[in-house]
Chains A and B, each alone.
Chain A
């Protein structure tokens, strides 16, 4: 019988009773054929690969990560809590050393959910990786964490959550935003003024296949990880780069995904997108599990796999090589962007569109350029649904001045905000103004 070289915990939660809508790609049967493949292959009979059930993320787990307007229940359902709870279970397994690696095969996904949540964006409500990372920090201390997002879509939500965080390195490999939702993820998006270079974007041209992806991994991702020296590597393992995916234009294969995980060696992988539920997911998920467990995956092949046909055109490959020569500089020698500043505060003003719910959020963010801590962050957010909302974030290393300022803002009366949430990482207080 097969034996895993390194133990792997798999949290398999297909949520067979939940869908966005009847014919939406994010629906009940999404992991059905993956489960058939796992069962037939006897994945959980491999010594060292064990199946676990998800935990359930609590209000506190979500409120320490997001500003939820109007409330936690107002923006997410049981399914989102359990999906995030699956990611938390994966983290718990690894940090408690119950298994060496863990893969949360859960749905719905989360990487388009930003710091402020007012609704559903790109099939995501809460950012399950971010909820997991904040859970890790709350229970195991401020770690250095690298999140490598290999979903075909730019991980704009995760990028937003960690934009100002120098302890989290976020790297996204995705189909070029000029050709795919959400239309962002360009190299010049490389972190906030106090976390320069800690966000890295690798936009790959349509029709990139195994060679191109693995080239970017080898030339850009791995050298940066070697320098950053994270305590944990997390893979946001979207599977919509697959050549058979119905909503994207890439040419990645199950072999490529498996090799990617073998090279990246993530401590934790979390499923994101991937909607070729019959032609890709059964093989890609099997390949990832085997690679993470150090088992032979060489025969995990889609029935219609034809590497010659999928191979990149020389032009595409040349483009990727050129891009990958330039990108590492953005991490090693980041150039400050043109940040707007009012007094001691960095200012960002944006409109954020929630495609599934058709809401537009107006947002203004103020980050204090504090010498004594990472700086208090104030976010003013409004939509036609919730009115004016205020989020106050105090960092884990918050200085007394920022703390005082935060609580003064929080306790203020008649300031015109309908909903005010305090996210105090120093004192672990995650509450709404009564």
Chain B
């Protein structure tokens, strides 16, 4: 049996699944200062009458690290950066303990300026004096040659409790993102480790001896032990869990859209030929782009509780939220109240909704029903505009070969899957305005937890080889070795595949070679003075986000236990 838990901003959702059958589902409030309590409540509910010993896997999606970062409750980090020429590394200054260490590499990884050891010593001494114990070490072009990063790491020695080395976090190039990623990784490490220890103790109390995995922003999982090395990859796993839920409940091989409508925001995700689209380089957090691989989810500030305002005759919906809708005791009218007025839904105390909308409409000299109609139109328009721009953006993404331009197939979704609390309410409105088939899966209220339970591991690996210089590098696995001139693209692809499989195996995850996808495989002649001297080979291998099993719909009618207070699911 598998358990999936998604700790969201307001709710924590959990499901128990046996094979492809849903056994139990539960929903409880998230106690942001005691996440373990939320987890315990959900476990108590879904495990009632079950043998916890039969649970083999627990997959957990948590906002712990996301919240820590966006609220600034993070540890101080010594950021040691080796920049060199180009865009000033000052641009990426982050945290209170940011130090630039002179030194540089070029784009081939050749050292062009040696590391300034005196400045390094001074920076480390400064950090030590300020009680900094967690470090991020990042050099420009370090995935091409990690030696300067490694020197710094060695120099830190036991003065550091934890060090994030840039080249180990991702093989992809992007200096600024690498700095941000390493910084956040070190900033959340200690708190995440404490959480992880407490979680394991708590699971023991439930007699659960399952493999524990943490959900990542790309929709895949990683073993808890691995997550302790790179906790940052767990940011924004919530929307990814919902996307994986769609894959488990409504699999398809055509282009579709997902809409997750919540109280304050609506998340939009696009699936091309049934596959969720990933961010090109990585997700941003707190205004900082990172190299954390993530499912591309657009968030728009419109949800059931979005505040209605009228400014100079223009109706505004969201992004503010003052509280729940008036139908549920709120003090100002929201989108949900407008839907109540139009009798598109019968929700809570609709007399309050009518009162609130009429009062606001009167103040601006318009009939109440018209205001309600305008509100709904505005909200639907905003969502459909965002959907259109997402599709345009995806269809105009850069390509680099003539072949890609000639074979290009535009993405044209014709089906919309809507999940989240107010999903049902919007079915017809969206169907009419977007002209798409709208599907609301049963159990859509716990799609996120289902996605968490059924998703599998993901991983990515970047291999770069230069046979003229006789070198191959796979930064994330700390492989930098020499290769013969006969090293070919085919050898590189095979090596990348088997290393990725081996890496996952080491983490306790078994996958077959067919499941490894090669997303880049290029080989360029290196020509010096009109003679070919070798080949420059670039390979990127990945295991795509996917679910282990499709959910059997027979149990779709199962009751979601949401405790004593009945909530809108």
A interface, CB within 8 angstroms of B: 1-2, 12-18, 22-23, 25, 27-29, 32-33, 35-37, 39-43, 45, 51-54, 56, 78-79, 82, 246, 278, 282-283, 286, 290, 295-296, 299-303
Contact = CB atoms under 8 A, between A and B. Distances in A.
Contact of B403 (A17, A22, A283): A17
Given A1-B91, A32-B536, A78 B107 contact: no
A53 B405 contact: yes
Contacts of A290: 87
Contact of B172 (A14, A39, A53): A39
A22 B401 contact: no
A40 B91 CA distance: 14
Interface stretch (B40-48, B174-182, B410-418, B436-444): B174-182
Nearest to B405: A82
B524 interface: yes
A40 B174 contact: yes
A42 B398 contact: no
Nearest to A56: B405
Contacts of A301: 85
Contacts of B287: 1
A36 B107 contact: yes
30 contacts: A14-B400, A15-B401, A16-B400, A17-B401, A17-B403, A22-B532, A23-B532, A29-B536, A32-B536, A33-B107, A36-B173, A40-B140, A40-B174, A41-B176, A52-B398, A53-B397, A53-B398, A54-B405, A56-B405, A78-B402, A78-B405, A278-B107, A282-B107, A286-B86, A290-B87, A299-B86, A299-B87, A302-B85, A303-B85, A303-B110
Contact of B176 (A15, A17, A45, A53): A45
Nearest to A278: B108
Given A29-B527, A295-B87, A302-B85, 6 more contacts: A13-B400, A15-B400, A15-B401, A27-B527, A42-B175, A290-B87
A18 B119 CA distance: 46
A45 B279 CA distance: 13
A282 B106 CA distance: 10
Contacts of B177: 42, 45
Contact of A29 (B91, B112, B396, B524): B524
Given A42-B289, A45-B177, A16 B401 contact: yes
B521 to A, nearest CB: 11
A1 B288 contact: yes
Contacts of B91: 1-2
Contacts, number: 119
A307 to B, nearest CB: 14
B478 interface: no
Nearest to B86: A41
B529 interface: yes
Contacts of B398: 12-13, 51-53
A27 B396 CA distance: 25
Interface in B502-547: 522, 524-527, 529-532, 536
Interface of B: 85-88, 91-92, 104, 106-108, 110, 112, 140-141, 172-177, 281, 287-289, 396-403, 405-406, 522, 524-527, 529-532, 536
Contacts of A303: 85, 104, 106, 110, 112
Nearest to A45: B289
Best-buried of A16, A22, A79 by chain B (most CB within 10 Å)? A16
Best-buried of B110, B174, B406 by chain A (most CB within 10 Å)? B174
Nearest to A36: B107
Q: Which 8 A-B pairs have the closest CB atoms?
A: A29-B524, A303-B112, A39-B173, A40-B173, A42-B176, A301-B85, A17-B401, A36-B107
Contact of B141 (A14, A18, A28, A40): A40
A278 B527 CA distance: 11
A45 B140 CA distance: 16
Contacts of B106: 303
A32 B397 contact: no
B131 to A, nearest CB: 28
A234 B86 CA distance: 26
B363 to A, nearest CB: 39
Nearest to A295: B87
Contacts of B405: 53-54, 56, 78, 82
Nearest to A37: B107
A249 to B, nearest CB: 16
Contact of A299 (B85, B108, B281, B527): B85
A1 B284 CA distance: 12
A102 to B, nearest CB: 14
A52 B396 contact: yes
A421 B435 CA distance: 47
Contacts of B108: 33, 278
A113 B403 CA distance: 25
Contacts of B529: 246
B31 to A, nearest CB: 34
A17 B402 contact: yes
Contact of B88 (A12, A278, A299): A299
Given A2-B91, A36-B173, A53-B405, A29 B525 contact: yes
Nearest to B288: A1
Contacts of A15: 400-402
Nearest to B106: A303
A296 B289 CA distance: 20
Best-buried of A42, A51, A78, A283 by chain B (most CB within 10 Å)? A42
A32 B173 contact: no
Contacts of A302: 85
A359 to B, nearest CB: 23
Contacts of B399: 13, 53
A14 B522 CA distance: 13
Given A1-B91, A37-B107, A303-B104, A32 B524 contact: yes
A203 to B, nearest CB: 27
Contact of A41 (B87, B104, B400, B532): B87
